[in-house]
Structure 1
Amino acid sequence: MAAEAAGAFRRTAIERSDQRIAWDRTDQAFFAAGACHILAWVCRDSYPDRAIEIAGVRLAGGRQVFHAYALWNSWAFDHSGWNSEPELLAANTTFEGRPLESVKITDSLAEFCETHHSRMPHQYWQDPLPRAHDYVSRYTPPWA
Structure 2
Amino acid sequence: MYWPTPGIKKHPEKRWNQPDRIFFGFGACHILAGVFLEDTSFGGFYGEWIVPNDGLHGNHMYVTNGQIAFDFHGYSEREKLLAHYWRGHQFKFQGWQAKVVKIDFPLLDTAELNARKHLGPNQYFDDPIPRARRFIASKNPPPELQRIE
TM-score, length of structure 1 as denominator length: 0.84
Task: Give the whole-Å Cα distance in 2 for the aligned partners of 1:50 and 1:62.
Answer: 36
Gap change, CA 1:65 and 1:72, over 3 Å in 2: farther
**One of 96, 99, 105 as aligned partner of 2:97:** 99
The alignment covers a number of residue pairs equal to 137
Give me the CA root mean square deviation.
Answer: 2.2
Which residue does 1:77 correspond to in 2? 70
* Shift, 1:48, TM fit: 4.2
Task: Give the whole-Å Cα distance in 2 for the aligned partners of 1:56 and 1:33.
Answer: 13
Which residue does 1:120 correspond to in 2? 120
Matched residue SS, 2:63: strand
- Check the 8 A contact 1:11/1:33 in 2, yes or no: no
Matched residue SS, 1:38: helix
TM-score, length of structure 2 as denominator length: 0.82
Amino acid at match of 2:3: F
% of aligned pairs identical?
Answer: 26
Matched residue SS, 2:44: coil
Unaligned runs of 5+ in 1: none
Matched residue SS, 1:56: strand
Asked whether 1:45 is paired with 2:43, we answer no
Unaligned runs of 5+ in 2: 91-95
* Shift, 1:65, TM fit: 7.5
Amino acid at match of 2:21: Q
* Shift, 1:33, TM fit: 0.5
Alignment of 1:1-144 (within 5 A): 5=1, 8-13=2-7, 15-59=8-52, 66-97=59-90, 98-109=96-107, 110=109, 112-142=112-142, 143-144=145-146
Task: Give the whole-Å Cα distance in 2 for the aligned partners of 1:104 and 1:10.
Answer: 26
Gap change, CA 1:112 and 1:82, over 3 Å in 2: farther
Residues 7-56 of structure 1, C-alpha deviations (whole Å, 9 max, x = no match): x333521x111100000000000000010000001111121451210101
Amino acid at match of 2:141: P
Amino acid at match of 1:24: N
Moved over 3 A (4+): 60-65
Task: Give the whole-Å Cα distance in 2 for the aligned partners of 1:60 and 1:88.
Answer: 19
Larger C-alpha radius of gyration, 1 or 2?
2
